[in-house]
């Protein structure tokens, strides 16, 4: 069959077809759409928060991400393993002009492949619906986002997050001192990140938190802030007590070997099988426990583990996370390291890029290991910038902004680019302790948190933020 889209004829193969606002709705386990123009670039949508999301040049050879052990933590391993360009759920083509052809799944568990003359969409299992559109980049992505699930609880929060200054080096004494320090700034959430727990799977306060997590939550509340806590509910390592106690909870391959779930903290990671009722109950109890301590802002991290091996696991993921959403109805859930499209409608906030870091780029990892998912401002900006179209579905979290020059290799103009995304999305977070800041940096942090600066999108990759024009061409 063929359809007429924005004045051009587009041949396609699908089981059914109907016009909808802004394009067409297609049906099929596999659909093929033939491009009306020779495509040069493919919008490659990464699977989870940290995955590469950008326009890629179709004429350039794809380089395999190295080492293989990191792949499950970087993206849907299928996307990385194929020699063709595949994206997660949605893909788009661009030629020499401004027009874009977009094919996006309306259900979970789909992938889209891009070639010079073709967009091929495929659901991992079963039939599903698709959206097809042709037009300006902003318009086609906006039309797609309107058909996806959403949940926008008020405006995004202003967060002090402990990760990007103290990393795992946090303790009760240090956090109590930090709470004193930030008292004069209009934060709403004080979020305790990784470093408080005994081990992955062993979610009790470690010896650095002698009075326990409920005590800390109470101290945070007394300062007028909402207590936030980091959790990775579906992750364990081979030396986790939970793994030794419940080896049968771990996600395994056909041969019964634990499925690799990435590599972090210097160890290989394993995933809990979110298809098992006991595992979901464990996660439910974990959230209940954290909320019982007084935390009602939860950063649920490394969530891709609940969906491995990739698109095939997204239905299971959505069911499990739907259960967590129910028990934490009143809490703010920030999803991180999470399959992006499968999280819509469940997450309040969603990290849409890799971690920032106080440097621009780790070239060894980004370039020589062909891994664009590692911490660094360049990688973080690139992915976040290409996911701003999700802003009507979820609070888009571009990660924290930096104001400090202490312990920081970033140049001021690089930090501004990150600050610009925070102004645009409204998700304002930092990890900079005021005591690390110079007087003018403190003033800038205060203005960042307390002022609403008008933001105008001059083009998809240029922003006017207040008086300043920010050009993101350096990360494209």
Kindly write out the interface string for residues 339-378 of this chain, putting x where it contacts ligand 9PG by CB under 6 A and - elsewhere: ----------------x-----------------xx----
Q: How far is the CB of 268 from ligand 9PG (least distance, A)?
A: 13
Displacement of CA 126 from its chain's centroid (Å): 26
For ligand 9PG, the binding residue among 82, 171, 206, 264 (CB under 6 A) is 264
| Under rule CB under 6 A, residue 298 binds ligand 9PG | no
Displacement of CA 148 from its chain's centroid (Å): 16
| Under rule CB under 6 A, residue 73 binds ligand 9PG | yes
| Under rule CB under 6 A, residue 379 binds ligand 9PG | no
Q: How far is the CB of 50 from ligand 9PG (least distance, A)?
A: 5
Closer CB to ligand 9PG, 82 or 264, in the complex: 264
The Cα–Cα gap between 367 and 369 comes to: 6
Closer CB to ligand 9PG, 130 or 297, in the complex: 297
Closer CB to ligand 9PG, 122 or 378, in the complex: 378
| Under rule CB under 6 A, residue 50 binds ligand 9PG | yes
Closer CB to ligand 9PG, 44 or 113, in the complex: 44
Residue 143 contacts residue 131 (beta carbons within 8 Å): yes
395's enclosing H/E stretch is strand 395-397
The Cα–Cα gap between 8 and 5 comes to: 5
Q: How far is the CB of 259 from ligand 9PG (least distance, A)?
A: 17
The Cα–Cα gap between 122 and 30 comes to: 4
Which residue reads 């600066």 in tokens?
Answer: 453
Q: How far is the CB of 207 from ligand 9PG (least distance, A)?
A: 19
Q: How far is the CB of 242 from ligand 9PG (least distance, A)?
A: 18
Closer CB to ligand 9PG, 358 or 374, in the complex: 374
For ligand 9PG, the binding residue among 129, 194, 296, 397 (CB under 6 A) is 194
Q: How far is the CB of 189 from ligand 9PG (least distance, A)?
A: 14
Closer CB to ligand 9PG, 45 or 122, in the complex: 45
Residue 468 contacts residue 455 (beta carbons within 8 Å): no
Kindly write out the interface string for residues 126-145 of this chain, putting x where it contacts ligand 9PG by CB under 6 A and - elsewhere: --------------------
For ligand 9PG, the binding residue among 86, 160, 209, 230 (CB under 6 A) is 230
Q: Which two tokens stand for residue 133?
A: 């559109």
Residue 132 pairs in a beta bridge with: 24, 103
Q: How far is the CB of 74 from ligand 9PG (least distance, A)?
A: 6
Q: Burial of 273 by CB count in 10 Å (0-12 exposed, 13-18 middle, 19+ buried)?
A: buried
| Under rule CB under 6 A, residue 189 binds ligand 9PG | no
State the residue number with the nearest CB to ligand 9PG: 194
Note the helical H segments in 84-235.
Answer: 137-146, 163-166, 172-181, 212-222
| Under rule CB under 6 A, residue 301 binds ligand 9PG | yes
The Cα–Cα gap between 124 and 86 comes to: 13
| Under rule CB under 6 A, residue 206 binds ligand 9PG | no
In the three-class reduction of DSSP (H, G, I as helix; E, B as strand; rest coil), residue 381 is classed as helix
The Cα–Cα gap between 141 and 22 comes to: 10
The Cα–Cα gap between 82 and 73 comes to: 16
Residue 90 contacts residue 100 (beta carbons within 8 Å): no
Closer CB to ligand 9PG, 194 or 441, in the complex: 194
Rg (CA), the chain: 22
Q: How far is the CB of 193 from ligand 9PG (least distance, A)?
A: 5
Q: How far is the CB of 4 from ligand 9PG (least distance, A)?
A: 44
Closer CB to ligand 9PG, 46 or 135, in the complex: 46
Q: How far is the CB of 167 from ligand 9PG (least distance, A)?
A: 8
Residue 100 pairs in a beta bridge with: 94, 135
In the three-class reduction of DSSP (H, G, I as helix; E, B as strand; rest coil), residue 365 is classed as helix
How far, in Å, are 97, 320, 347 from residue 325 at the CA level? 43, 9, 8
Q: Which of residues 153-182 bind ligand 9PG (CB under 6 A)?
A: 163
The Cα–Cα gap between 192 and 446 comes to: 21
Closer CB to ligand 9PG, 193 or 414, in the complex: 193
Specify the pairing of strand 395-397 against strand 349-351. parallel
The Cα–Cα gap between 334 and 88 comes to: 21
How far, in Å, are 23, 314, 431 from residue 209 at the CA level? 55, 36, 20
Kindly write out the interface string for residues 383-422 of this chain, putting x where it contacts ligand 9PG by CB under 6 A and - elsewhere: ----------------------------------------
Chain residues binding ligand 9PG by CB under 6 A are 50, 73, 163, 193-194, 230, 264, 301, 336-337, 355, 373-374
């Amino acid at each position: 069959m063929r359809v007429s889209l924005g004045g051009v004829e587009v041949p396609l193969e699908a089981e059914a077809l109907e016009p909808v606002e802004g394009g067409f709705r297609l049906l099929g386990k596999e659909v093929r759409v033939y491009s009306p123009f020779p495509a040069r670039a493919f919008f490659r949508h990464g699977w989870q928060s940290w995955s590469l999301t950008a326009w890629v040049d179709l004429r350039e050879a794809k380089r395999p991400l190295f080492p293989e052990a990191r792949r499950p933590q970087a993206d849907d391993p299928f996307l990385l393993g194929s020699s063709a360009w595949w994206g997660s759920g949605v893909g788009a083509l661009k030629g020499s002009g401004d027009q874009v052809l977009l094919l996006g799944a309306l259900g979970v568990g789909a992938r889209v492949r891009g070639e010079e003359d073709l967009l091929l969409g495929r659901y991992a299992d079963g039939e599903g619906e698709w959206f097809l559109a042709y037009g300006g980049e902003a318009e086609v992505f906006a039309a797609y986002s309107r058909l996806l699930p959403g949940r926008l609880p008020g405006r995004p929060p202003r967060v002090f997050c402990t990760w990007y200054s103290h990393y795992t080096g946090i303790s009760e004494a240090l956090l109590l001192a930090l709470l004193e320090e930030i008292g004069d700034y209009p934060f709403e959430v004080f979020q305790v990140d990784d470093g408080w727990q005994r081990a992955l799977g062993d979610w009790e306060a470690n010896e650095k938190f002698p009075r326990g997590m409920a005590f800390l939550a109470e101290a945070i509340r007394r300062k007028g802030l909402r207590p936030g806590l980091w959790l990775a509910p579906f992750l364990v390592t081979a030396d986790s007590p939970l793994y030794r106690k419940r080896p049968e909870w771990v996600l395994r391959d056909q041969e019964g070997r634990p499925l690799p779930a990435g590599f972090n903290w210097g160890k290989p990671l394993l995933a809990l099988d979110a298809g098992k009722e006991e595992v979901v109950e464990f996660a439910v109890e974990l959230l209940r426990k954290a909320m019982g301590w007084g935390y009602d802002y939860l950063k649920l991290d490394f969530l891709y583990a609940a969906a491995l091996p990739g698109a095939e696991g997204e239905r299971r993921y959505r069911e499990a996370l739907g259960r967590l959403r129910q028990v934490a109805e009143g809490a703010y859930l920030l999803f991180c390291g999470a399959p992006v499209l499968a999280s819509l409608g469940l997450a309040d906030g969603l990290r849409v890029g890799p971690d920032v870091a106080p440097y621009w780029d780790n070239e060894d990892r980004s370039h020589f290991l062909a891994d664009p998912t590692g911490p660094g401002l360049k990688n973080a900006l690139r992915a976040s910038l290409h996911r701003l179209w999700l802003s009507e579905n979820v609070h888009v979290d571009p990660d924290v902004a930096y104001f400090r020059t202490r312990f920081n290799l970033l140049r001021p103009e690089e930090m501004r680019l990150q600050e610009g995304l925070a102004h645009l999305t409204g998700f304002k977070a930092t990890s900079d302790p005021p005591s690390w800041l110079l007087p003018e940096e403190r003033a800038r942090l205060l203005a960042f948190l307390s002022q609403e600066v008008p933001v105008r999108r001059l083009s998809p990759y240029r922003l006017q933020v207040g008086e300043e024009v920010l050009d993101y061409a350096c990360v494209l």
